[in-house]
Homo-oligomer: A and B are copies of this chain.
Amino acid sequence: MLRFALIGAGRIGAVHGASIAAHPGASLALVADPDLEAAGRLASRFGAHATADVTDVYTAGDVDAVIVGSPTPLHVEHLTAAVAAGKAVLVEKPVDLDIARVDACIAAVGQDARRVMVGFNRRFDPAFAEVRARSGEVGPVEQVTIISRDPAPPPAQYVASSGGLFRDMAIHDLDMARFLVGEIASVHAVGQRVGTVPEPDVDGAVTTLVAESGAVVTIVNSRHCATGYDQRLEVFGALGSLEVGNVRATTVRHHGATTSAATGPYLDFFLERCATAYARELDHFVTAITAGEAPSPTLADGRAALELADAATLSAATGETVRLRSSAPMEKETV
């Protein structure tokens, strides 16, 4: 039984709390949040204790593992302290918006990185995971096309400190690219402004990645989509292709006088679409940590996605293709 503490009692904390409660090999012991009332509400739902003092997490004797769901600028501090206290850590992405701080974190954590996992939950989406598992059916992957659109833009204040579209949104798709085709050799991006978020951020983008394998990955992003959370992906090779479509609430189709086969809109936001992914992500973490194995995606994966987001941000600003320095000698993800 892996005993968890949650740092952060917000929306994502509640999702992880429910996953822990439903997992036969996990239990929730502690919820830490400066907003003690929020921490208490969440803790009571799952029979855990609450604290406003995050250091209680590091010293708690009944806590084996920590989920870091605090605001992004605090991720590195909380992650480093929890690891130093001997805990296993599942940290929400991004590790940090500043790649220098991520590098410092990786250096500080050292070999203990084996106890750290970065929450790229989309790798655990049943459909995306199925495509990776079956990708051999298409032969060596030649082309990947990802369409990834949010239903609606985030609040202006979020965008102000999010690092921009490539770091707050496309980063999931950049990680998915590495998940499917491995290391990336060059990045080109185009950003577009439609006006749904304040300048200088963009609300649409097309990013083209060339992998070291020769595969080309295209990512089309938008901050808004009237039909819902638009998450599609296609992997293409000489033998065929595998395609992930959108998810609807039901299979009902309407046939009327002017249209046929009309289904409902896509599920509306990532917590709905990703509920299963979060539960599977937690299960992977619990299973790996319990078995003494390193979970994945790793801190190195977290750094690599941020490096791609930085490159895309630069390319969108300059119009130039950014060639990545040969990959640093870090462990690669192995899911």
Contact = CB atoms under 8 A, between A and B. Distances in A.
Interface of A: 22, 126-127, 130-131, 134, 137, 142-143, 145, 147, 149, 186, 188, 190, 192-194, 204-206, 208, 210, 214-216, 218, 220, 222, 224-228, 234, 236, 238-266, 319-321
A216, A246, A266: which has the most chain B beta carbons within 10 Å? A216
A226 B244 contact: no
Contacts of A253: 242-243, 245, 261
A306 to B, nearest CB: 22
A260 B262 CA distance: 6
17 contacts: A126-B249, A127-B252, A134-B254, A142-B192, A145-B147, A192-B214, A192-B215, A194-B214, A206-B216, A206-B218, A218-B220, A225-B236, A227-B241, A239-B257, A241-B255, A259-B259, A262-B263
B252 A247 contact: no
B260 A265 contact: yes
A217 to B, nearest CB: 9
B222 A236 contact: yes
Contacts of A256: 137, 226-227, 239-240, 265
Contact of A130 (B204, B210, B222, B250): B250
Given A227-B241, A239-B226, A240-B255, A262 B262 contact: yes
Contact of A244 (B240, B243, B252, B259): B252
A127 B216 contact: no
Given A226-B238, A259-B263, A262-B262, 5 more contacts: A145-B147, A218-B220, A222-B236, A243-B255, A246-B251
Contacts of A194: 142, 214, 238
Contacts of A134: 252, 254
- Can you tell how many copies of this chain the complex includes? 4
B258 A265 contact: yes
A263 to B, nearest CB: 5
A261 to B, nearest CB: 5
Given A142-B204, A190-B216, A126 B250 contact: yes
A190 B130 CA distance: 28
A249 B292 CA distance: 31
Contacts of A225: 236
Nearest to A191: B216
Nearest to A256: B240
Contacts of A259: 254, 259, 262-265
Nearest to A239: B226
Contact of A261 (B190, B238, B261, B321): B261
B227 A186 contact: no
A181 to B, nearest CB: 12
Contacts of A188: 188, 190, 208, 319, 321
A204 B260 contact: no
Contacts of A255: 226-227, 240-243, 265
B319 A127 contact: no
Contact of A208 (B142, B208, B224): B208
